[in-house]
Structure 1
Amino acid sequence: MINSEPSSERALKKIEIEADLTIVGGGLAGTCAAITAAREGVQVVLIQDRPVLGGNASSEVRLWALGATSHQGNNNRWSREGGVIDEIAVENTWRNREGNPLLFDALLLEKVRAEANITLLLNTAMVGLDKDGPHRIKTVHAFCSQNSTLYDVSSPLFCDASGDGIVGYLAGAAYRIGAEAAGEFDEPFAPEESYGELLGHTIYFYGKDTGEPVKYIAPDFALKDIEAIPRHDQIQVNKYGCNFWWLEYGGRMDTIHETEDIKWELWKVAYGVWDYVKNSGKFPEAETQTLEWIGTIPGKRESRRFEGDYMMNQSDIVEQKRFDDAVSFGGWAIDLHPADGVYSAEAGCHQFHSKGVYQIPYRTMYSRNVENLFVTGRLISASHVAFGSTRVMMTCAHNAQAVGMASALCREQQLNPSDLVEPARMQQLQRRLRRSGQFIPHLSLPEDGEDLARSAEWSASSESELSGFAPSGASASLGCARALLLPVKAGLMPALTFQLTSQSAQTLEVQLRVASEAGNFTPDQTLETVQVAVSAGEHQATQVTFATTLANDGFVFVCLMACPDVQLALSDAYHTGVMPLVHSANKKVATSAVQTPPEGTGFHSFEFWLPERRPLGKLPALSIEPSVSAFGVEQLQSDYERPFIQSNAWVASSEDPAPYLDLKWAEAKLITKVVIYFDVDYDHAMESVQWHHPEDAMPFCVKHFRLLNAQGDVVAEQSDNHLGRVELKLDAGVKTHALRLECKETHGAPASVFSLQVF
């Protein structure tokens, strides 16, 4: 029993914590920064003001997490983010391919709790801070309403991943709100004069079919005249959640301090939309539907952006500029919305894509005037226009992994964030990021002397000599143009023989294209065009022969242009690094199969060539002569663990009953860790919620593998793998002059490996 006598005053319970890194904000950015840092030995305190992690990706908001893949609706092939956020995406698809947001919450909590170096404070809001001089933070103060406890958290390093930037704001870090004028960064898409209008907030809702009639009485505050909303005709039954991204409001308000007012307006709209669905009489199919869930907090898009030593701008994205301090990448369109949101007569968004992915420099990820403050998530140093691309969650998370790794280097070497810009330190950061699975396009580093695999002699049981794909009996119409994206070697382009069916004699145009920029997958350069005669009849073997001699190894697009009366035979085969495409538009991220921006906006015009999602996306049935030899063990010496510029993959022959890779050294090596990168289809967008994915494990991934030493002893084995990056820690160490990786079974495609690193 507690019996407390009256007192003039009492103090809240207080807990003081010392850490290496304090992160405020537990969205995907803060979560991935914390996990990355903790795995490098950093003691992290992660302060999150909500009951779950994930921010806009959590069950409280339920926005699907996306990044450079853009729903597979742009030309950024194999561009899903790497590292921790990819580990989370792959695991979520494995466990939760239906996209249940509650299961995604649980996965994020599990990942954080698995790290002993993370102290997680949920339901804890930062309320103040102390500084150690004008340019340095000493302690942050936070309050947990659930346990009525104050926390004072001190550390040499801080990271603001809070979305609104409360740490940077209270610490006096330089920031911006609103759009810069076009002249400041020479951005044609920016306004002539700067303004404070922003992207607004959104609240989502879900309906559910109960199987029996359900009435609905709207609350008094629900919007009555939904047809006054300019885009009310986009309302559909059974299209809920993120499909209502355009129910947006608040762009003309203070998106930080007026968030509660914005929320009430969004509730008014959302409950009004449901009233319209149930009671307008225009949706009789909604009779048995009930309102299952509606968001209680809005998903925010824009507020503060903090100034680093560099600010990204429009041309960095559109022209895909290279940076010596590149630590991450992006690829979402520059995506800006009208300030009036749902009440605007304009289109709900204006999206313009670049021709490929772009680098993001480290100098955008710390404050230029608070010396021990990292910034990440949507707070990074970017203009309003560039922010239109960098703000999406998978990009934010990928950036945050760079911050987490940078914090480890700062802790080990007693440095401030800006100190890592020094070239030798930057290369150290980039190398450690790459080893952790971070994809950094166009990054060239000196040879990694610590990776023993680089000095090994490689061999394999077989190598894919790609000679074609057998027909399945299915076919696809050439009513729209289709293409085969294929990695080939320098030299004469091989001849391809397709199986075609036509109702009448036709002339089929076939174009051989490449991307004008290495690493891009926008087929904007036509090398050769041939005309092929197609007779009336079924299953004709139709050979396409090119005269082009290719100067370099790389990807080509064999484009079968639209010919409506012709059917193309398909295959059920899968093969790493080879992809079928269609010249089409994904309506979620583009209005047309050709991007045609308004004149003077600074964007390129180009065609979209997109994959169809499985189970639809099928390779064409064809034969290739001579066969393509782009999948040998030499590909494993690449800097990339995905197709980029080349296939970067060893692929076993489809006829090999027991594929394996061998590594041999002249002298025995003591091996304590082996990292294997399998193919988990980096083109698949893997939306985190509200999306039913066609499979839980990617068909290209090796399911069962064994690692053997020179004597044939099994030193590691997994029989049900679905992950892309597999880290095998051999705690006692294995001394051997050889390793063999046996690929016993895959999830469907021939065995393939992107990288094998040995330490």
Structure 2
Amino acid sequence: MCGGGLAGFCAAVASARHGAKTCLVQDRPVFGGNSSSEVRVTPHGAAAFHVYAKETGIISELLIEERARNHEPIFENGWTNSVWDMTMYDMAQRTENLTFYLNTTILDVRMAGERKIASVVGYVANAETEIEFVGDVFVDCTGDGLVADRAGCEWRMGSEGREEFAEPHAPLLASGDVMGSSLLFKTKDIGYPAPFTAPDWAAKLDNPDFFYKQGRNPNDMRGGYWWIEIGMPWNTVYENEDIRHELTRYVLGIWDWIKNRDPLTKELAANHAIDWIGQVPGKRESRRIMGHYLMTEHDPQNKTVFDDEIAYGGWFLDLHTPGGLLAPTSEHASSEGYDETSPYMVKSYCGPYGIPLRSTIAKDVDNLMMAGRNISVTHAALGTVRVMATTALVGQAVGTAAAIALKRGVALADVPTQAIQEVKQTLLRDGCFLLNTMNEDELDLARKARVTASSQAALHSAEVRADLSASGERGPQDDFLQQRKGQWIAISEGVLNRVSVCLSNWSDVPQIVEALIIPVDHIWDYRTEATPAIAATKLLIMPGKYQWIDWDVHLDETTGLKSGSYVRLDLLANPNLVWHCAAGIVPGQTCAYEMGEGKMRRDWNGPTRSFRVEPPQHAYRPEYVTNGVTRPYRFTNLWRSDPHEPLSQWLELKWEEQQSIKQVEITFPGSLLWEYRGYAPFYRDPQCPKDYRIEAYVNEEWQELLEVKGNYQRHCRHALAQSVQTNKLRVVIEATNGDPSAAIYEVRCY
């Protein structure tokens, strides 16, 4: 594995965990690439735009561990500290079959014929040591595609013209334009005036239009400005040092503007001092290596279903303006003030969408794969695929596929057809999520069990905060119905007699709001016009605050209601009304609003809007832990105990015949709702079980097989000391990290 950013790191750990002797070569002193403490870009991904779309697998293990260990909040870019570096280093040290070399730069690639790499040559900085790395499979995670370039692979760099693939985001004419690199800085409020004098060689900036009319808003004195970005006219590969110097000049010039020149920020920044300035530019784009499939913008936009899907993305089509600080305006969404309903944002919003394995296999070299921002995509598609949480998923898939190819003796080019089911099922077992694949592992004994539990929660309602309803004030996410809003509701009973919502009419006259109930395919089905409503009405709302409005719908399967699926309750726009949020997030019940052109997007950070349903829906049944999906998607897919019943609570698997069980694997809830920076220091998700034990029924009594204390990880694997013969096994949850309910997404037994 050449390159130790998140893609290369996850590829190496995955490969080693699956038995391949793996070597990870990284040219920096720390792992993490752009996410490391050297660059400090926070890992973004699908969860920034889609509730419950947080990336899982190795990247989830790392981020959960970092938040549990780290005292530092993650405000924005620039706030990563060395705890993150050490979290990755610790995992690398503990991974069997993994050898790594830091501070080691790849200098050369040696070929065995035209289509096979024999070795790569690295140079260890400060050690005057040259190392030749010989392998069967090589993975280029260098970002710049260094290995592929030296091996003679075809690559692209720059922007495809619109006529080549008819991509809406492509420029009319092809060019060498690429997205630029950013240099970050961080400040600290020291509590007293902190003067700053810029050196003579710093950039001289004195035009407020450069900032406030061109999308470069110094909106927070703490730093983290991704828009300190430069690429063109410099080459992002060969002139990286020139870019670094120019960016340093601009960091100091921008801080001089904020501290000493800008009347809007001088007072705010008076007590802030520079705490850190990066000296490794965070690079967005250079070479893209051509693989067996070239993803275009149409794939994320149309959510193309690939037979060889091995990862997913969900960041928007975020194409930064070539030139960055030297361009007339900053990145387009920023220059619009991040207007979420503008035509540009409607056009750019996409996902979640799948990524094919073929885009990670080099077409010109038989034993080379790619992971990271250098995979086989167009410039336009790279706008969404390039973000680090997405590349981490791709990396884990590539490492897994490489190990399986070696184990089975399958050529890399044949894995997408001959071994793809094993790759996908392995990824699921390792805690990943795929949009179009569920657990079908024939070795998983839990799939044959009957599942029961000590109790189960029922979905009655999502109630509003009592203090707000008593005062009549709006909550922080209680905005007016300027656009259509929708609330997903899980249906388990096949019957829905009544639905109610809590609304406030802030006008002095009665108001009418149109309401619809629409069947949806899943929680990211944002279409407003594609599926006919199965119920529609106009609700009359009298003047007044916090009114529960009832709607007798009398729906069942004869009218289009389906058990084990979601409906979306939509209220159309009426700017005089507020649809209040619930006091807390009800698991699996999310909301969105209409952004335009028949498309919705996540509302705020994924709260639950207030609602009540009759009859209650049993949306958290124990049998869901073996349905093959480990997060809310087409349904809740979660067992959750009755929150009114005290812990401990248990989930039991029962077989008709004795089973020999050696390993138990559990997926708990937690750390799915938001992206990484949404979680506080020392965070342990309240929903995640903390103390639990696994028991087996042996000789007519329950015997404890193992006990866990202090857990906060989502995906837990337990190899038993010895195989147990039993026809009943149960997980007993004695304490969570704060939630009143015990909860599990999946149990597997082997």
TM norm structure 2: 0.89
2:539 corresponds to which of 511, 520, 532:
532
CA distance in 2, matches of 1:269, 1:404: 39
CA distance in 1, matches of 2:332, 2:464: 42
Q: Structure 1 residue 45 and structure 2 residue 23: aligned?
A: yes
| More deviation, 458-467/180-189 | 180-189
Q: How does 1:319-358 map to 2 (within 5 A)?
A: 319-350=302-333, 352-358=347-353
Counterpart of 2:744?
753
Asked if the contact 1:319/1:354 (under 8 Å) is kept, the reply is no
Distance 1:413 1:236, change over 3 A: same
CA distance in 2, matches of 1:633, 1:623: 23
Q: How does 1:264-663 map to 2 (within 5 A)?
A: 264-280=245-261, 282=263, 283-350=266-333, 352-423=347-418, 425-443=419-437, 447-473=440-466, 474-475=468-469, 476=474, 477=478, 479-480=480-481, 483-489=486-492, 491-500=494-503, 502=505, 504-514=508-518, 518=522, 520-525=524-529, 527=533, 528-537=535-544, 540-546=547-553, 549-552=559-562, 553-561=564-572, 571-579=582-590, 581=591, 583=593, 594-595=595-596, 606-612=599-605, 617=607, 620=610, 622-657=611-646, 658-663=648-653
Distance 1:702 1:385, change over 3 A: same
Q: How does 1:252-267 map to 2 (within 5 A)?
A: 252-267=233-248
Counterpart of 1:15?
none
Q: Give the secondary-structure state (helix, strand or coil) at the position aligned to 2:373.
A: helix
Task: State the Cα deviation string for residues 728-751 of structure 1 (Å, max 9, x = none).
Answer: 111322222210111222221522
CA distance in 2, matches of 1:106, 1:728: 25
Q: Give the secondary-structure state (helix, strand or coil) at the position aligned to 2:283.
A: coil
Distance 1:720 1:510, change over 3 A: farther
CA distance in 2, matches of 1:542, 1:131: 72
Amino acid at match of 2:83: L
CA distance in 2, matches of 1:534, 1:218: 59
| More deviation, 567-576/701-710 | 567-576
Distance 1:645 1:353, change over 3 A: farther
CA distance in 1, matches of 2:741, 2:513: 32
CA distance in 2, matches of 1:632, 1:338: 49
Q: Give the secondary-structure state (helix, strand or coil) at the position aligned to 2:187.
A: strand
Q: Give the secondary-structure state (helix, strand or coil) at the position aligned to 2:318.
A: strand
Q: Give the secondary-structure state (helix, strand or coil) at the position aligned to 2:298.
A: helix
Distance 1:513 1:27, change over 3 A: farther
Counterpart of 1:20?
none
| More deviation, 462-471/83-92 | 462-471
Q: How does 1:43-192 map to 2 (within 5 A)?
A: 43-69=21-47, 71=48, 74=49, 76-96=50-70, 98-99=73-74, 100-192=80-172
Asked if the contact 1:237/1:277 (under 8 Å) is kept, the reply is no
Asked if the contact 2:479/2:579 (under 8 Å) is kept, the reply is yes
Asked if the contact 2:487/2:609 (under 8 Å) is kept, the reply is yes
CA distance in 1, matches of 2:509, 2:441: 58
Task: State the Cα deviation string for residues 542-595 of structure 1 (Å, max 9, x = none).
Answer: 21233553343422222345555656566545432123x363xxxxxxxxx625
Asked if the contact 1:52/1:105 (under 8 Å) is kept, the reply is yes
CA distance in 2, matches of 1:136, 1:469: 59
Distance 1:200 1:175, change over 3 A: same
Amino acid at match of 2:427: L
Q: How does 1:681-692 map to 2 (within 5 A)?
A: 681-687=671-677
Q: Give the secondary-structure state (helix, strand or coil) at the position aligned to 2:706.
A: strand
CA distance in 2, matches of 1:567, 1:331: 29
CA distance in 2, matches of 1:719, 1:578: 30
Distance 1:513 1:51, change over 3 A: farther
Report sequence identity in percent.
29
Distance 1:139 1:27, change over 3 A: same
Deviation (angstroms), 1:166: 0.9
Deviation (angstroms), 1:144: 1.1
Task: State the Cα deviation string for residues 433-483 of structure 1 (Å, max 9, x = none).
Answer: 1111121101267x3210000111211122222122455313444523654
Distance 1:241 1:122, change over 3 A: farther
Q: How does 1:11-50 map to 2 (within 5 A)?
A: 23-50=1-28
CA distance in 2, matches of 1:188, 1:471: 42
Asked if the contact 1:251/1:338 (under 8 Å) is kept, the reply is no
Asked if the contact 2:185/2:278 (under 8 Å) is kept, the reply is yes
Name stretches of at least 5 consecutive residues in structure 2 with no aligned partner. 75-79, 334-344
Task: State the Cα deviation string for residues 512-567 of structure 1 (Å, max 9, x = none).
Answer: 35476556331524614322223345554421233553343422222345555656
Distance 1:514 1:45, change over 3 A: farther
CA distance in 2, matches of 1:695, 1:536: 45
Amino acid at match of 2:290: E
Counterpart of 2:218?
236
Task: State the Cα deviation string for residues 385-424 of structure 1 (Å, max 9, x = none).
Answer: 111111110110100101110121122123332121224x
Deviation (angstroms), 1:366: 1.3
Q: Give the secondary-structure state (helix, strand or coil) at the position aligned to 1:230.
A: helix
Deviation (angstroms), 1:646: 1.1
Say what the alpha-carbon RMSD is for the aligned residues.
2.4
Asked if the contact 1:130/1:137 (under 8 Å) is kept, the reply is yes
Distance 1:515 1:27, change over 3 A: farther
Deviation (angstroms), 1:107: 0.9
CA distance in 2, matches of 1:167, 1:202: 24
CA distance in 2, matches of 1:311, 1:356: 18
Counterpart of 1:680?
670
Deviation (angstroms), 1:377: 0.4
Amino acid at match of 2:288: R
CA distance in 1, matches of 2:499, 2:521: 25
| More deviation, 257-266/522-531 | 522-531
Counterpart of 1:11?
none
Amino acid at match of 2:73: E
Asked if the contact 2:314/2:384 (under 8 Å) is kept, the reply is yes
| More deviation, 636-645/431-440 | 636-645
Name stretches of at least 5 consecutive residues in structure 1 with no aligned partner. 1-22, 584-592, 597-604
Q: Structure 1 residue 709 and structure 2 residue 684: aligned?
A: no
Q: Give the secondary-structure state (helix, strand or coil) at the position aligned to 1:220.
A: coil
Distance 1:563 1:748, change over 3 A: farther
Q: Give the secondary-structure state (helix, strand or coil) at the position aligned to 1:665.
A: strand
